[in-house]
Structure formats: structure tokens, C-alpha cells
Amino acid sequence: MLANKECQAALEVLQESPLYDCHCKRGMKKELQCLQIYWSIHLGLAEGEEFYEASPYEPITSRLSDIFRLASIFSGMDPATNSKSNHCLDAAKACNLNDNCKRLRSGYISTCSREVSPTEHCVRRKCHKALRQFFDRVPSEFTYRLLFCSCKDQACAERRRQTIVPSCSYEDKEKPNCLDLRNVCRADHLCRSRLADFHANCQASFQSLTSCPGDNYQACLGSYTGLIGFDMTPNYVDASTTSITISPWCSCKGSGNLEEECEKFLRDFTENPCLRNAIQAFGNGTDVNLSPKNPSPPITVPPKMEKSPAVPDDINDSNTMYDTSIITTCTSIQEHGQKLNKSKEQSLCYSETQLTTDTMPDQKTFVDQKAAGSRHRAARILPAVPIMLLKLLL
């Protein structure tokens, strides 16, 4: 249909409309309907994309530090405090303390473990649906701890691998070709959207500190979690404690002349530094610590004055809140290099220095104009006094 001139004209009109820039929110009430609208607009444009597609979802702006803080509040325990504990077991206990997490986790475990017949282990479609409900409706403070807990022994790592009941949701009798699996996924609006979101947020970026786009671990882990419960479901390939290897259930066997493309697609999971770093960061309880690219210039201390100049009454500046004793304390600390304690004076020192530098970069001290005028008048009067005394004596 793209050869049709009327279709091309309609697409060009849509590109100029607000509808073209709309996005969907993961887990929203009418998510599928929203995604159907999105892909109907972008369908023609996506035909030319060889490998990756743009994500239809709104960007994730939150950081892992928020998850760490809330996890301890919700669960009442911090797995990082005991390095010898089974963090994955702790995560399961934390989930059981929350009614919503416990109910939905029990639901998918029961569904994914229910044997239908001697030849059919479970109903995979129902298992996937139950998994999607769990990861979409339970806060990430609980789900992340189950999926990305750090492990020191194989028992813990195997529990982590079994989190999604892989015998039903992940493994199959034979491994399909990865490109065939991708085509099946792209035929479904939901799976296609989650896969595009994964590539957008977890694609290795060597221009960033963490190998993640925008140095956002939270966005990558959220996109990874969004793939669980679909044909493209990823999981740990083994119970190794020394390395983390993630892969969907597929291989590149029988790819023919598309083997290079297939290997590239598979490496986005198995050899992805962004995904690996994000999982390790959460398991270790660490977040991205971005240091400034350019170090701040050293603060030059003005020459020490006998008396601090008075602040003019007509200048409305936040520096007027600091008295001369605080300023003297700051100068003494900077000059003599004394150790700073966590005190009120320390915070005021930093605030005073920053405000002076930021608000008035070209002026380090205030000058009292009235006082200056008085000094000038005195300078003119003093030379005339000896002359007047000489005249009186004569």
C-alpha cells in the first residue's frame, strides 16, 4: 500500500499531527488499544527499519535509588546487610509479607505448575498471562528483588532462575530460530512493543558511563521485565554465580544467509553489557554515580580584612541572612585547612560560598557606598587643619 499516492499523502499528514507523537504507558488500562493505534500510524514507517524499532512507550525517568529506598520500607529488611544470606529467599519472604504480591505470585506459580496431561506439562498461554499480570500489577520494589537478587551459591542462583517457572513459561521441546521467534513476536502488538522498548532502553551504548542509554539502569530493567510472559520471554540460562547470561529460548541454528543478523539479535541478550551491569547494580544495591565531567574550579579566598564591610540596606540579597561570625568561621576553615564537622556552620559555609559565586560572580565582597563617601570627605578636610592653626598664631 505504500506505493499508493493517497496512502503516502495520508502518512505525511499524520506526521505533522499531534497523533504521530503520542505514546502509551505500560500497564495502562487500555494499553492494547493504545498500542494498536500507535502501530497503525507507524506501520508504514516501520517497514524500512532493518533491525530496531522505536519504543511506543513513554520513557522511564525514575532511578534505581528510588527502588532501593522503597524496597526496605515495603519489606522491612535489607538483604545487603548480610552477605551470607540467600537474597532470593529473602525476596520471596518480602513478597509474602505483601498481600498483593503474595496473591499474584501464588497465582502464576499455581497456573504455570499445573499439569494438564502426561504429555502436556501446562497451558503456556495461561502461564504467560498470569506472569504478565504479576509483573504489571506488583510494584517493582518486590518484582525486581525476585528477578535480580544477587547470589553467592548455586542454590540461590537456581532459585533466581526458577522465579518464572521456566519449565512452562520459558523452555520448550525444541529451540526455534531467533529470527523466526522475533517475527512471531512482531506479529503481536503487545510483544512487538515490549521488544522495541527493550532494544530502546537496553541497547549497549559505549558513549555512556554504564553502557546503558542515558545511564538509566531502571529503564533497562523495566524493559527486560516487560518481556516476561511473551514468546520472547528471557531468563537466566544456568545457575552460575560467577557470570550472568540472559537469553530467550532460541538459537541461530538454520539461519542460512541471515546467520549474522540472527547472531546480532541474540547477542543483545547474551552479551549485553548494559543489561548485565543493570542486573549486577540492583543485586549489589548500587546505583549510577555520575561524577561531573569537568571538575569545579578551586574557590579563591579573598584577602583577610581587619573588619568585615557592612552590607548595604538597599541590596536585596540572600547573603544578608549570614552574620559576620559565620563568614569569619568559613574564612578560618578555608585558610587553615581545619577538618570540617557535620555542623550548621559547615552547611552555611558551603551555601555562602555558592551563593556568592553564583549570584555575583564578578564581585566577592560588598562595599558600603555611604561609608566610602565619608572617608573621601575626611580626606579632603584633614590637610586644611594645619593651615588654619598657622594663621591663628600669626
- DSSP-derived 3-state class of residue 25: coil
- Output the pLDDT for position 254: 86
Is residue 89 scored above 60 in pLDDT? yes
Cell numbers that stand for 293 in this block: 565531567
Mean pLDDT on 135-140: 93
- For 19, the grid coordinates are 497523533
pLDDT band at 294 (very low <50, low <70, confident <90, very high): very low
Maximum mean pLDDT: which of 41-45, 55-59, 122-126, 321-325:
122-126
Per DSSP, the three-state class of 235 is: strand
Please count the helices (runs of H) and the strands (runs of E) in the chain: 18, 2
The helix (run of H) or strand (run of E) holding residue 247 is strand 246-248
Residue 140 vs residue 66, higher pLDDT = 140
Rounded CA-CA distance 147/323 in Å is: 54
pLDDT exceeds 50 at position 109: yes
Q: What is the pLDDT of residue 14?
A: 81
**Range with lowest mean pLDDT among 60-64, 160-164, 250-254, 308-312:** 308-312
Higher pLDDT, 366 or 326: 366
143-152 residue pLDDT tens: 999 999 999 9
Sequence-separated (6 or more) residues with CB below 8 Å from residue 146: 88, 91, 92, 95, 105, 160, 163
* pLDDT higher than 90, residue 306: no
Q: For a pLDDT cut of 70, what percent of the chain falls above it?
A: 64
346-380 confidence digits (pLDDT tens): 333 333 333 333 333 343 333 444 444 444 444 44
Find the mean pLDDT for residues 152-172: 94
Q: Is the pLDDT reported for residue 26 higher than 90? A: no
Say whether pLDDT at 251 is over 60: yes
Q: Tell me the whole-structure pTM to 2 decimals.
A: 0.67
Tell me: pLDDT of 19 over 70.
yes
Mean pLDDT over each residue of the chain, to the nearest integer: 74
Give the whole-angstrom CA distance, residue 105 versus residue 134.
6
- pLDDT of 52: 85
Whole-number pLDDT of residue 302: 46
Residue 359's CB is within 10 A of a number of other CB atoms, namely: 11
pLDDT value of position 181: 95
Q: For residue 61, what is its C-alpha cell?
A: 525517568
Contacts 24+ apart (CB under 8 A), 364-370: 364/302, 365/302, 365/305, 365/309, 366/309, 366/310, 366/311, 366/312, 366/315, 366/319, 367/309, 368/309, 368/310, 368/311, 368/312, 369/312, 370/312
pLDDT of residue 116: 84
Q: What number is the average pLDDT over the span 150-176?
A: 94
Whole-number pLDDT of residue 3: 66
Bridge partners of residue 177, in order along the sequence: 251
Instruction: Give the Å distances, CA to CA, from 162 to 154, 156, 167, 238, 282.
Output: 12, 10, 8, 10, 18
**Is residue 69 pLDDT above 60, yes or no?**
no
Helix axes 178-186, 259-270, angle to 10 degrees: 80
